[in-house]
Amino acid sequence: MRYSPLADVVTARATGFAPSEKLNLTTMWSSEGATTENNAGTDGSWPGVVIADAKSQKAGTAHIRVAGQACTVSVKFPWGVGSNHPM
């Protein structure tokens, strides 16, 4: 879900993991990104707020990927200037 019209702040929720499983969260904002370690909750889900960290770019395609041992969940979406297209 977007928290801003530019989709540079979004919430994401991934499910299907083992309770408290170690997860790798990879975020890419166009060509800039990072990977961090997280843990699933006791219900096997990972909820989070993801904030763009693209210092040199104003728009592009975002990719959020949450990976566990046996399950990977990912989503791609446009972000930045020109990405707000209400339906």
Answer whether residue 87 is part of any domain.
Answer: no
What's the pTM value of the predicted model, to 2 decimals? 0.85
Residue 52 maps to which CATH number?
Answer: 2.60.40
Q: Does residue 86 lie in a domain region?
A: no
Q: Identify whether 4 is part of a domain.
A: no
Closest CA to 54 of 73, 79, 77, 24: 79
The DSSP 8-state label assigned to residue 43 in this structure reads T
Amino acid at 17: F
pLDDT tens per residue, the chain (87 residues)?
888 888 889 999 999 999 999 999 999 988 888 999 999 999 999 999 988 877 778 889 999 999 999 999 999 999 988 888 776
- pLDDT value of residue 87: 62
- How many structural domains does the chain have? 1
What residue numbers bound the domain in which 72 lies?
A: 9-80
Q: What is the pLDDT of residue 72?
A: 94
Contact 15, 41 (CB under 8 A): no
